[in-house]
Amino acid sequence: MAQFESLWTIPIILVLESIGSCIACGRAEYRIGDECCPMCSPGNRVYKHCTEFTSTSCVPCVDATFLDEPNGLIKCKVCTNCDPGLGFKVKQPCRPSSDTVCGTLEGFYCLDPTKDGCRAAQRHSSCLPGQYISHAGTTSTDTVCSDCTGDTYSNGSFTSCQPHTQCDTLKLQQIKPGTHWSDSECGPQTSPPIAIISAVVVVVVVAVMAAVAIRRKIKYPVSGEIILGNCTV
């Protein structure tokens, strides 16, 4: 009878051990072998696991590493690098208990926002000549461009289309008409055409010659003419 009892005792012990190994640890514990060890607090990692007789030994995270949750890890996580080449800047520096929080540089907006920061950034779009910036880009939205219409222009950097310069109002001559991407070009008024000048000169010369001829006729009358006062008979 004692022999049968001993044969049953061994399986029962094994079953109990198996059940014990399957029992879940508490929320603030982690399993190592058959032990449920207390977790380390955020900002700390496991230095030595607990034993049957000792508790977990923890040490702080150092050298740009962190752990932001209670844990049973023997290594801390490496802090995120906010790479300026990818459009990032440090919004909140890394601490032993929290990772680096990245924000976007000026001229970039966030494509993949997180609770406090950003994981992916994109440079703001540039408007083309003939377009103006109707909505400036922000940290969360891209730039919105619109086309110029009518007698206006923009080189792509304006926040509104500008009216073409009216050369005549400045007493200047238009050299090149304005487009949607460039202003009118004005220059000084040119001299009158040569043909007009020549015609004026001819008229003046003829007038002078006529005046001279009249005076000569009055001063030296032809034979048979009698001058009475200012009249020739």
Q: Residue 5: inside a domain, yes or no?
A: no
Residue with tokens 């109707």: 134
Answer yes or no: is 2 within a domain: no
On whether residue 8 sits in a domain, the answer given is no
Domain that holds residue 164: 84-187
Domain count for the chain, please give it. Answer: 3
List the structure tokens of 56: 């977990």
Do residues 89 and 180 share a domain? yes
Is 3 inside any structural domain?
A: no
The mean pLDDT values, 10 residues at a time, for the chain of 233 residues are: 46 44 83 96 97 96 97 97 97 97 97 94 97 96 96 96 93 92 90 62 74 65 49 45
Residue 153 lies in a domain: yes
Answer whether 153's CB lies under 8 Å from 164's CB: yes
Residue 46 located in a structural domain: yes
CATH of the domain at 119: 2.10.50.10
pLDDT for the residue 189 = 80
Let me know if residue 221 belongs to a domain.
yes
4 within some domain: no
What's this model's pTM, rounded to 2 decimal places?
0.61
| CA gap 56, 52 in Å, rounded | 11
**pLDDT at position 217, please?**
63
Reported as type and span, the H/E element at residue 21 is helix 2-22
> Which of residues 78, 103, 118 is at a domain's end?
78
Report d(CA 85, CA 41) in Å as an integer.
35
Q: Are 66 and 76 in contact (CB under 8 A)?
A: yes
Examine the domain organization and report whether 126 and 151 are in the same domain. Answer: yes
- Alpha carbon 79 to chain centroid distance? 27
Q: For residue 105, give Cα distances in angstroms to 24, 39, 108, 131.
A: 47, 38, 6, 24
